[in-house]
């Protein structure tokens, strides 16, 4: 076994990848189906204010303030969607820009923490502690279990909300529940991939899987596998190549997407 | 007991009172049409029937019960279209299996019995060749057949269809209405069609409600399809006249009667 795999920081990073890669991918199947990719981007950017507020309040590890602020923004998004006639992307653009601006202003009040910002913007999974690993693993298990338990109503909800209502699904509860799970997964993945790249872990595995499958069952299975391979593969490659881990994970997801696309093209246009 | 009993329903959306005291009773076993111009409140009324729209006043009862999860289990609903993202890989089989407890399995496990149940409860819709295909790859006509099948799998006593042929080509429209007429004749369920298609209404419906904020008129198609009633509903002068379709092969009108067309005059 390569020596670097015995290092505790690498083991923690691999735990994070093992837990979050499949869970984020699983959520991503429904995120992409429901046109919510920009939603996860908005939630992740809101984390900047959570980080800044956490620093200001004296937290060394701002995981809890990040989670709380991301949830606040997610709920604001749902509330505005229900109570106003604004389009979803308008609401998300408003909340994204306001929360980033607020985060930068709060950070400017404490310039001594400015250097730590990179860790949150681009992710630094090699620096996480065991408490981060515990939070992320717990959240990933809970998210995956709940999505799998509610797979049927979620599928129906993604096909047509009104039809889901008529068929007996509790549409509002499902919508709020899904948003809470997505927010939980995104905000806890920020330490691994960073605010700027965390959406790639949610969107790229289901996008890669989609071009190869024709059923939801196959889509879910392949997405979970690609989420696992991409996250673990990225962490493993980043160390010997001496590359930043978050961007390497995203590039591995990007490569998996390109390979899936090529395979699907070959399947649909086989050479004579 | 009527299939649908709507009494004095008022709904305000923003500054506009879209429904201004709508009352109607649809007897069981009928195939009726709800017509009206854009903005007349057809979709809002349908949403009231499905429990998706809060009422400002009035009452809606379906099959003798107030609208709620219990009675909605006895209703079939065919939406205008499925706004499916192509990245959603739900197959026709997986989608249809969601409608019934005896086909709905954890993680979409498939058994031969599942297909048998699906095909037995939605016969004559040509589902055999569609079951394995992704829902988002279907044509408009195929998707409508799948949506009808989804409704029929719930063994509904009342079927509500919202502009069901929007996005379907003309031959597909004809097939679709024949299918609905067949379902209505075979199963004897109450069918409510919300439609712009006045020709279809004339040919297929046994009773017509013309809506424009209120029910302007109702009656058999030949009673409602006159200039005064249509002016009340559409706000413009509409003169029905008969088309004579010439078939090059035999020079006769299509089977099923002469379609009606409308000539608007402002």
ipTM score: 0.86
A206 close to A32: Cβ distance less than 8 angstroms: yes
Q: Is B123 exposed, middle or buried (0-12, 13-18, 19+ CB in 10 A)?
A: exposed
* Residue B68: inside a domain: yes
**Mean per-residue pLDDT, A234-244:** 93
The domain segmentation of chain A, as residue ranges, is 3-268
* Subunit contact A159:B82, Cβ cutoff 8 A: yes
Residues B70 and B195 in one domain: yes
Residues B167 and B194 in one domain: yes
Residues B137 and B89 in one domain: yes
Interface of B with A in 139-158 (CB under 8 A): 150, 154
Of B98, B132, B150, nearest to A152 by CB-CB distance is B98
* Residue B9: inside a domain: yes
CA of A40 to nearest chain B CA: how many angstroms apart? 17
Residues B116 and B224 in one domain: no
pLDDT of residue B258: 36
Of B73, B77, B94, nearest to A155 by CB-CB distance is B94
B113 vs A: CB within 8 A: no
Total of domains in chain B: 2
CA-based nearest residue to B49, from B5, B82, B81, B1: B5
* Residue B189: inside a domain: yes
Residues B175 and B122 in one domain: no
Residues B180 and B53 in one domain: yes
* Residue B254: inside a domain: no
What's chain A look like in SS3? CCHHHHCHHHHHHHHHHHHHHHHHHHHHHHHHHCCCHHHHHHHHHHHHHHHHHHHHCCCCCCHHHHHHHHHHHHHHHHHHHHHCCCCHHHHHHHHHHHHHHHHHHHHHCCHHHHHHHHHHHCCCHHHCCHHHHHHHHHHHHHHHHHHHHCHHHHHHHHHCHHHHHHCCCCHHHHHHHHHHHHHHHHHHHHHHHCCCCHHHHHHHHHHHHHCCCCCHHHHHHHHHHHHHHHHHHHHHHHHHHCCCHHHHHHHHHHHHHHHHHHHHHHHHCCCC
CA-based nearest residue to B71, from A213, A75, A123, A165: A165
Of A151, A163, A214, nearest to B89 by CB-CB distance is A214
Q: Which residues of A touch B82 (CB under 8 A)?
A: 159-160, 163
Q: Which residues of A touch B69 (CB under 8 A)?
A: 168
- pLDDT tops 70 at residue B238: no
- pLDDT tops 60 at residue B124: yes
Fold of A3-268: ABC transporter involved in vitamin B12 uptake, BtuC (1.10.3470)
Residues B69 and B169 in one domain: yes
- pLDDT tops 70 at residue B122: yes
CA of B153 to nearest chain A CA: how many angstroms apart? 11
- pLDDT tops 50 at residue A49: yes
* Residue B107: inside a domain: yes
- pLDDT tops 50 at residue A64: yes
Which residues on neighbouring strands pair with residue B260, listed in sequence order?
B242
A268 vs B: CB within 8 A: no
A172 close to A51: Cβ distance less than 8 angstroms: no
* Residue B26: inside a domain: yes
- Write the pLDDT tens digit of every residue in A253-268: 999 999 999 999 998 8
Q: Which residues of B touch A207 (CB under 8 A)?
A: 87
Which range, of A108-112, A177-181, B15-19, B243-247, averages the lowest pLDDT? B243-247
Residues B31 and B90 in one domain: no
Out of B128, B155, B182, a domain closes at B155
Q: Report pTM.
A: 0.86
Residues B63 and B173 in one domain: yes
Out of B133, B155, B177, a domain closes at B155
Residues B63 and B162 in one domain: yes
**Mean per-residue pLDDT, A150-159:** 93
Residues B39 and B5 in one domain: yes
Q: Which residues of A touch B111 (CB under 8 A)?
A: none
Check which CATH number belongs to the domain holding B168 and give it.
3.40.50.300
Domain that holds residue B99: 82-155
Q: Which residues of B touch A158 (CB under 8 A)?
A: 88, 90
* Residue B212: inside a domain: yes
Residues B70 and B9 in one domain: yes
What gap in Å lies between CA B12 and CA B141, rounded to an integer? 34
* Residue B245: inside a domain: no
Out of B139, B155, B171, a domain closes at B155
For residue B91, the chain A residue with the least C-alpha distance is A215
């Amino acid at each position: 076994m390569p020596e670097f795999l015995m290092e505790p920081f690498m083991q923690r990073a691999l735990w994070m990848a093992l837990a979050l890669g499949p869970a984020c991918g699983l959520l991503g199947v429904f995120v992409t189906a429901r046109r919510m990719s920009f939603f996860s981007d908005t939630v992740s950017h809101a984390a900047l204010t959570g980080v800044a507020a956490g620093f200001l309040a004296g937290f060394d590890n701002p995981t809890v303030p990040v989670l709380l602020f991301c949830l606040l923004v997610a709920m604001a998004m749902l509330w505005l969607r229900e109570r106003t006639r604004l389009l979803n992307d308008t609401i998300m653009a408003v909340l994204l820009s306001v929360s980033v601006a607020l985060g930068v202003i709060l950070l400017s009040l404490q310039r001594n923490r400015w250097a730590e910002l990179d860790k949150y913007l681009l992710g630094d999974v090699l620096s996480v502690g065991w408490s981060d690993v515990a939070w992320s693993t717990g959240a990933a298990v809970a998210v995956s279990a709940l999505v799998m338990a509610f797979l049927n109503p979620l599928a129906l909800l993604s096909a047509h909300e009104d039809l889901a209502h008529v068929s007996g699904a509790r549409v509002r509860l499902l919508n709020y529940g899904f948003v809470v799970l997505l927010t939980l997964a995104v905000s806890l993945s920020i330490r691994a991939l960073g605010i700027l790249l965390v959406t790639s872990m949610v969107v790229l595995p289901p996008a890669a899987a989609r071009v190869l499958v024709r059923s939801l069952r196959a889509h879910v299975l392949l997405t979970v596998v690609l989420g696992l391979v991409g996250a673990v593969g990225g962490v493993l490659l980043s160390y010997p190549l001496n590359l930043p881990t978050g961007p390497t994970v995203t590039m591995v997801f990007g490569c998996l997407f390109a390979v899936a696309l090529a395979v699907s093209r070959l399947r649909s246009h086989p050479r004579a | 007991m009527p299939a649908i009993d709507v009494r004095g329903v008022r709904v305000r959306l923003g500054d506009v009172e879209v429904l201004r005291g709508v009352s109607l009773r649809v007897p069981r076993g009928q195939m009726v049409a709800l017509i009206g111009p854009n903005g007349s409140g057809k979709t809002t009324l349908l949403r009231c029937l499905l429990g998706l729209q809060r009422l400002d006043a009035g009452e809606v009862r379906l099959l003798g019960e107030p609208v709620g999860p219990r009675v909605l289990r006895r209703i079939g609903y065919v939406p205008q279209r499925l706004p499916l993202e192509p990245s959603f890989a739900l197959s026709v089989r997986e989608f249809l299996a969601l409608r019934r407890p005896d086909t709905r399995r954890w993680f979409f496990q498939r058994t031969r019995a599942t297909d048998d149940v699906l095909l037995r409860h939605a016969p004559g819709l040509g589902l055999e060749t569609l079951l394995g295909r992704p829902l988002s790859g279907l044509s408009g006509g195929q998707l409508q057949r799948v949506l009808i099948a989804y409704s029929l799998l719930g063994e509904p006593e009342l079927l509500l269809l919202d502009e069901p042929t929007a996005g379907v080509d003309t031959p597909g429209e004809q097939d679709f209405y024949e299918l609905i007429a067949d379902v209505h004749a075979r199963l004897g369920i109450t069918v409510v069609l919300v439609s712009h298609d006045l020709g279809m209404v004339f040919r297929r419906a046994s009773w017509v409600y013309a809506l424009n904020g209120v029910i302007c008129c109702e009656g058999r198609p030949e009673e409602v399809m006159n200039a005064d009633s249509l002016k009340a509903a559409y706000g413009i002068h509409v003169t029905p006249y008969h088309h004579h379709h010439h078939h090059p092969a035999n020079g006769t009108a299509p089977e099923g009667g002469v379609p009606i067309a409308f000539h608007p005059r402002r």
